[in-house]
Amino acid sequence: MSNVSPPPPPPPPPPPGTRISSPTPSEPLIGAEDLSAWPGTGPVMVEAIGVTKSFGDVVAVSDVTFQIGSGVTAILGPNGAGKSTLFRMLCGLTQPSSGTVTVLGRNAGADREVRGRIGLAPQQDALFDRLSAGAFVALAAQTHGVVRAESRTREVLAQVELDVDDPKPVGSFSKGMRQRVKLAAALVNDPDVLVLDEPLTGLDPIQRQRMIALFGELAERGKCLLVSSHVLDEVARLGSNVLVLAQGRLAAAGDYRSLRDLMDDRPHRVRVGTDRPQQLAAALIERGSARGVTVLADAVIVDIDDIDGFGRIIAPLTVDLGLRLDELVPLDDDLESVFRYLVERRR
């Protein structure tokens, strides 16, 4: 139910000297009731248009444009790619040097109301170490203006499987527990947009599974989750929509499997399991069906340009050669390969 749109056609450039302005506060927010009915193709919840952020001579984010709807979207990129800067701009913590960032149609930097509908779980520890989890989350609830702070605190802590009555200060918590406290604090205002910077770091496998399930549930309820993670196989489990940042620029946006298909300049790599790999490798080279082959004991790793065409010829070929075809496994259509290709291409 997630939707990441590739950059829309660029808007006409403003006349020289014109500042790109944010929507005025009088423009309506998307109502929570509308979001709960998000069909997957409904309103854009987060939008960046031509966003650039510089710190002196350093350009952290450069001319980034994208639109995101409800569901889970992973923000990927190597260290220094601009992910955290982008998150800060989305949350209104810093303003772009140029361009506009809007959340629910508003500029979070200038609009208090929309900030109340964003939940942030930053990568760095942002906790009062001496407070208990309950006290900390209650404080977050109060600063968000939640009236039933106590009962809401109880609910969200239960959601992340922490005890509201546990008097231990969060300073004594494990990394995973602290992560869950941060997540509870991000959820306490029932936000429509959740910005989660490395939310799975430090969690044990069971907790990771539960958090991923929770993210999925939130996405199904029409919330927009922006998640950054370095663990790509976890990102793949969160969903298939990604924004890839490299060197401050948007390298790609959309379903990573579709992105892989778009990478015509990269040969696909397939493992073909067979009982006579040398014979199969020789035949593939002889017929020009492969760009390169690597022969293993029980398989051939084949680099090919046209994966669909290869799929059509491999079975008849093995029949012709009298070989046994054990398996045909694509090796590089996973998220990690897509990410590696995209990022390497930028270097």
Partner 1 sequence: MTAPAEIFDRGYRRYEGERTGVWQAMRSVLWHTIRSVLGIGRKGRHKVFPALVALVAFLPSIAFLAFAVLIGDMLSEELRPPYWELFGLPILVVVLFATLVAPEALVRDRRDGMFRLYLSTPLTKPTYLLAKFAAVMAVMAIVVAGPVLLLLVGYTVQNLGPDGFGAWIGVSGRILLSSVLIVGFMAALSLGASSLTDRRAIASVGVLGAVVGVSIVVGICVDAIGLRHELRVLDPLGAPVEMAARIFGEVGPAGESRGSAATPTWLVFTGVAAWTTVWLSVLVTRYRRLTAV
Shortest distance (Å) from residue 94 CB to partner 1: 5
Which CB sits closer to partner 1, 194 or 252?
Answer: 194
H or E, element range at 308: helix 307-321
Choices 136-144, 248-256, 258-266, 285-293 (CB under 8 A): range interacting with partner 1: 136-144
Among 146, 252, 302, 342, binds partner 1 (CB under 8 A): 146
Shortest distance (Å) from residue 199 CB to partner 1: 15
Kindly report each contact of residues 151-159 with a partner whose C-beta sits within 8 Å and lies 24 or more positions away, as own/partner.
152/188, 152/190, 153/184, 153/188, 156/184, 156/185, 156/187, 156/188, 157/133, 157/184, 159/184, 159/187, 159/214
Could you tell me which residues come within 8 angstroms of residue 152 by beta carbon, excluding any fewer than 6 positions away? 141, 146, 188, 190
Q: What is the Cα 266 distance to its own chain's centre?
A: 23
Chain residues 30-89 in contact with partner 1, contact rule CB under 8 A: 88
CA dist list (Å): 55 to 49, 85, 168, 177, 329? 19, 10, 40, 34, 45
Which CB sits closer to partner 1, 188 or 259?
Answer: 188
Among 152, 178, 180, 268, binds partner 1 (CB under 8 A): 152
Choices 124-132, 270-278, 285-293, 298-306 (CB under 8 A): range interacting with partner 1: 124-132
Among 214, 307, 321, 323, binds partner 1 (CB under 8 A): 214
Chain residues 215-234 in contact with partner 1, contact rule CB under 8 A: 217-218, 221
Among 27, 129, 204, 233, binds partner 1 (CB under 8 A): 129
Shortest distance (Å) from residue 134 CB to partner 1: 12
Among 50, 69, 77, 92, binds partner 1 (CB under 8 A): 92
CA distance 218 to 202: 21
For the chain, the residue count is 347
Number of residues that bind partner 1 (CB under 8 A): 41
Chain residues 170-199 in contact with partner 1, contact rule CB under 8 A: 185, 187-190
Shortest distance (Å) from residue 21 CB to partner 1: 19
H or E, element range at 113: helix 112-115
Which CB sits closer to partner 1, 55 or 174?
Answer: 55
Among 83, 144, 178, 237, binds partner 1 (CB under 8 A): 144
Do 74 and 229 contact (CB within 8 A), yes or no?
A: yes
Choices 133-141, 238-246, 285-293, 301-309 (CB under 8 A): range interacting with partner 1: 133-141
Shortest distance (Å) from residue 221 CB to partner 1: 7
Which CB sits closer to partner 1, 112 or 257?
Answer: 112
CA distance 22 to 35: 22
Could you tell me which residues come within 8 angstroms of residue 37 by beta carbon, excluding any fewer than 6 positions away? 222
Shortest distance (Å) from residue 123 CB to partner 1: 10
126 binds partner 1 (CB under 8 A): yes
CA distance 236 to 234: 5
Sign of the alpha-carbon dihedral angle for 201, 202, 204, 206: negative
CA distance 251 to 243: 8
> Tokens 């004991």 map to which residue?
297
Among 37, 58, 147, 297, binds partner 1 (CB under 8 A): 147
Shortest distance (Å) from residue 215 CB to partner 1: 10
CA distance 38 to 2: 10
Could you list the residues that contact partner 1 (CB under 8 A)?
88, 91-94, 112-113, 115-116, 118, 120, 122, 124-130, 135, 139-140, 142-148, 152, 155, 159, 185, 187-190, 214, 217-218, 221
